[in-house]
Structure 1
Amino acid sequence: MPIATVNPANGETLRTFDALEDDEIEKRIAAADAAFRDHRTTTFAERARLLDRAAGLLDEDREDIARTMTLEMGKPITAARAEAAKCAKAMRWYAAHAEELLADEHPAAADVEDSGAVRAYVRYRPLGPVLAVMPWNFPLWQVVRFAAPALMAGNTCLLKHASNVPQTALYLGDLFHRAGFPAGCFQTLLVGSKAVEGILRDRRVAAATLTGSEPAGRSVAAIAGDEVKHTVLELGGSDPYLVLPSADVAKAARTAVTARVQNNGQSCIAAKRFIVHTEVYEEFAERFTVGMRELTVGDPLEETTDVGPIAMEQGRADLEELVDDAVNRGAEALCGGKRPEGLGGGLENGWFYAPTVLAGVTPGMRVHREETFGPVATLYRVDSLDEAVDVANDTSFGLSSNVWTRDAGEAERCVRDLQAGGVFFNGMTASHPALPFGGVKRSGYGRELAGHGIREFCNATTVWYGSEPR
């Protein structure tokens, strides 16, 4: 796959880049290894000062980097600005909290004595250079939510970003350099996917994190397993959105529109399967369909655009195949189900798809099993909470989930029984620095963000003293 910026709104290639040669990759791995030896010895205060500086620079650059993201992968400009602001917030959060999150842990005195020690504790130490294989859909946020905790823990970072967002990838390397992080602490590697195996097998690379497709996750996990290296995987999602009889249906429907089409529908944690109790199904379906139909599809650089293009031409083709298969097997498109017409303004060659609601989806349809990475929602009618939970769990994925209810008993049942890394009540799933993020089943393993995320790439070292040294 070429390393190039191709504007998905019109198909125009804006810039192309040469992939790094093997000798340059070697130099950068060596630089990451050398930088780690010094960076791991710096204080939390020193690291926090640099990360705070990076956050300030990102705030200053917000308009420019937002435009770059929009041109590279098509997210609405308003969403791109919000993504940049969120990244700066996360940097500041880790700068403020990393030291307490990685503080030494002291067992109870009785347990220390029982172990035969005069003193014992657990210390978190960084692992070394970490390879991050990142996707295009949130080209800043996906990287920062890994890099901020990794750098604060004392690790160094090697970024292999998606090949369609090279300018955003290069910006990130420049950002951390301008903030004052020493050479080698954070480096962007413009390489294709075939180079990943060699990098991960290098003895100096300590671990890897990947956000992306299930096939990509399997590949990286297999290589890392062969090398006995730690990995964190955040893969696909087909998140359920349950609407139960006690819900505020009007609010649930309004929120559902945003939950489905955020980032043009290209989000692993976007709600995708809308599972609605029969008592409120008709009202929800009508409100939700109207909301989806009224969205503005168009130029993502325009402030009034709600939904921009699919990031890649093949992505739109994949989405069309899923919708066509469902309709051919009996599903009904309550709205959308095709490419939008009459966009004009040079957008005719862009990779747009109309916001779509599919009703009457059955297990024999591909869309019931596969992730829809675009503004396509599937709608299910259920007769009970038991059935709602069964439908919600009838997927190979388990990233997050949404539930709308005013009933505390129903809420506790969903926390107990929904197979997902998160359960969000009466609102849409979102990631936040203070809350762990990740999934179960084929949505991956490990956690990002919060204390869980910063400790993923640390060695939990047991320190035990039979007697105190002098």
Structure 2
Amino acid sequence: MLFKSINPKNGVVLREAIPFFTKERISQTINSSYDAFLDYKQLSLPERLARLAALRRNLEANVETYAKVMTDEMGKTIGQARAEVLKCAAHCRYYEEHSEGVLEDTYIETDLSNSYVKHQATGPILLISPWNFPFWMPFRTAIPNLALGNTVLFKPAPNTSLSAELIENAMRDSGFEDVFQNLYFDHEDTDPILASPKVQGVAFTGSTGAGKAIASIAGKYVKKAVLELGGSDPFIILDDADLDKAAQDACTSRLINNGQACINAKRFIVHEAVYDEFKDKFVKNIAAQKVGDPLDESTNVGPLARDDLHENLRNQVLRAVKNGASVAQGDLARLEAPAKAEDGYYFHPMVIENISVENPIYREELFGPVASLYKVSSLEEAVALANDSNYGLGGAVFSKNLDRAKRVASEVDTGMMGINSFCVSDPHLPNGGVKESGIGRECSHEGLLEFANIKSVSIPK
């Protein structure tokens, strides 16, 4: 897929396709990243963190510029785009404040005279990010690596190269020239890039299928891989839940980023005693959302990012209904024909229910503003349904009984859970999944050490 930016609200080309790097330029970029690493790792931690502080100030000073480019390129609402830039700034601040305590030598009491653990940088890391969070995704991985002392080679998504260019410029202006570099290549070049002895690992966020392919290549060359992949997150409402809050949080979580996030709540699992009441409140909240121009401050849901994404979601819903699902909210007539670029790739939010285990949509991830409702008769059935998925990224449970909620949070097979709130990524907390939602963790101190050489040093008596 070519690196070409098209505004999804009207089909206007923002940037004509830019060419993939030649093999020679890829090699040159890897070499320059490695040469930069040899110098960068010699900097003291305070020197590296001072550059992170400069980057944070750059983000804070350019919120409007960066947000508008994101909105134009992939359709997220302008308010959420601003929040994304500021979240990146907060991510920088987290590592400014916490890296020293994590990276300092850890002394271990043993029978030896002295034993300690060092955390050292390893070299250039390949970072492959999707389009749905054009700033947050690369920042989520890059910032802890820059704090550690690694360098970063960033492959952006094909449809958000303008955002990637802004990031590279901000990095350069903050003292990370050659330490952070964009790398435009086709998927067939992934193998030779990871084959290079100068590249030490890969962080990938994207589809489960692509993640498996990346992991296979990394494994072939014994390179570390951190993967955040798909999700079909369960949102469990028990019979004693605060239904007003649950319905509002369910709506918010499902529609963040126009419904295009792996960590969005997608499967709403509701106890039968409150099913009808919750559905009524949830549907009313969904129906009240304004769909339209993402630059309009009053818009809640903008267009999907690309035509193929719209077409795939349209076909999923139509196939689900054909196989017995019913529509609790939304207009099927809107899906009679594919979207036209000049009209925008708008997908009005929908809620579907009566989904059998045999329905293909039961196993699929819905990447867009469509919610699936499921009715269960007990806590145990809710947990079983939540776990009946190949995915295990995030989830949420709502109950006024905190002990019951904690039990559910413990028993649901996910990497993250929210109790009486929807699940979000946070710089302070490890971010990642289990099963086919990925391996490894980003954010928090775990993210700082994923690509570190954790070296034990021992001195005999």
Shared fold (TM-score, shorter chain, > 0.5):
yes
CA shift for structure 1 position 194: 2.4
Identity of aligned residues (%): 40
Secondary structure at 1:124 match in 2: strand
Provide the residue aligned with 2:171 in structure 1: 176
- Mapped contact 1:313–1:351 kept (Cα < 8 A): yes
Alignment partners' CA distance in 1, 2:191 and 2:210 = 11
**Partner of residue 6, structure 1:** 6
In the other structure, the counterpart of 2:379 is 385
| Partner Cα distance (1:180, 1:405) in 2 | 48
2:162 is matched with 167
Return the offset for 1:102.
1.4
Q: What is the CA-CA distance between 1:347 and the residue it aligns to?
A: 7.7
Aligned equivalent of 1:322, options 313, 316, 322: 316
Q: Secondary structure at the match of 2:455?
A: strand
Residue 47 of structure 1 contacts residue 95 of structure 1 at CA under 8 Å; is this kept in 2?
Answer: no
Unaligned runs of 5+ in 1: none
Structure 2, unpaired ranges of 5+: none
CA contact (8 A) 1:299 1:347 kept: no
Deviation at 1:412, TM superposition (A): 2.9
Alignment map for 1:38-77 (pairs within 5 Å): 38-77=39-78
Secondary structure in 2 matching 1:36: helix
Give the C-alpha shift of residue 337 in structure 1.
4.8
Matches within 5 A, 1:50-449: 50-108=51-109, 112-113=110-111, 117-181=112-176, 183-338=177-332, 349-449=343-443
Q: C-alpha separation between the residues in 2 aligned to 1:434 and 1:101?
A: 13
Q: Is the 8 A contact 1:166 1:190 kept in 2?
A: no
CA contact (8 A) 2:103 2:119 kept: yes
Contact 1:3 1:192 in 2 (8 A): no
**TM norm structure 1:** 0.95
User: Does structure 2 retain, via aligned residues, the 8 Å contact 1:240–1:274?
Assistant: yes
Deviation at 1:348, TM superposition (A): 5.1
1:32 equivalent to 2:33? Answer yes
CA distance, structure 2, for counterparts of residue 355 and residue 348 of structure 1: 20
Q: Contact 1:122 / 1:461 at 8 angstroms: preserved in 2?
A: yes
Q: Tell me the SS of whatever aligns to 2:274.
A: helix
One-letter amino acid matched to 1:173? E
1:299 and 1:305 in contact (8 A); partners too: yes
Q: Is the 8 A contact 2:249 2:421 kept in 1?
A: yes
Structure 1 contact 163–192 (Cα < 8 Å) conserved? no
Normalised by the length of structure 2, the TM-score is: 0.97
Q: Distance in 2 between matches of 1:338 and 1:144?
A: 38
Asked if 1 retains the 8 angstrom alpha-carbon contact of 2:409 and 2:418, the reply is no
Distance 1:7 1:248 in 2: 40
Give me the CA root mean square deviation: 1.3
| Shift >3 Å, 4+ stretches | 337-341
Q: Secondary structure at the match of 2:421?
A: coil
User: What per-residue deviation string (whole Å, max 9, x for no partner) do you get for residues 65-85 of structure 1?
Assistant: 101001111100110000001
Tell me the distance in 2 between the aligned counterparts of 1:64 and 1:123. Answer: 40
Structure 1 residue 339, shift from structure 2 partner: 7.2
Q: Spell out, residue by residue over 1:380-427, the C-alpha distance to the aligned partner (whole angstroms, 9 max, x if none).
A: 011000110011011100001100011133123213310000111001
Which amino acid is 1:419 matched to? D
Aligned residues: 456
Displacement of 1:106 after TM fit? 1.6
Deviation of the 1:195 alpha carbon: 2.2
Structure 1 SS opposite 2:153 = strand
C-alpha displacement of 1:18: 2.1
Note if contact 2:398-2:419 (Cα within 8 Å) is conserved in structure 1: yes
Q: CA deviation at 1:376?
A: 0.3
Residue aligned with 2:105, SS: coil
C-alpha distance in 2 between matches for 1:329 and 1:186: 48
Q: Which moved more, 1:195-204 or 1:289-298?
A: 195-204
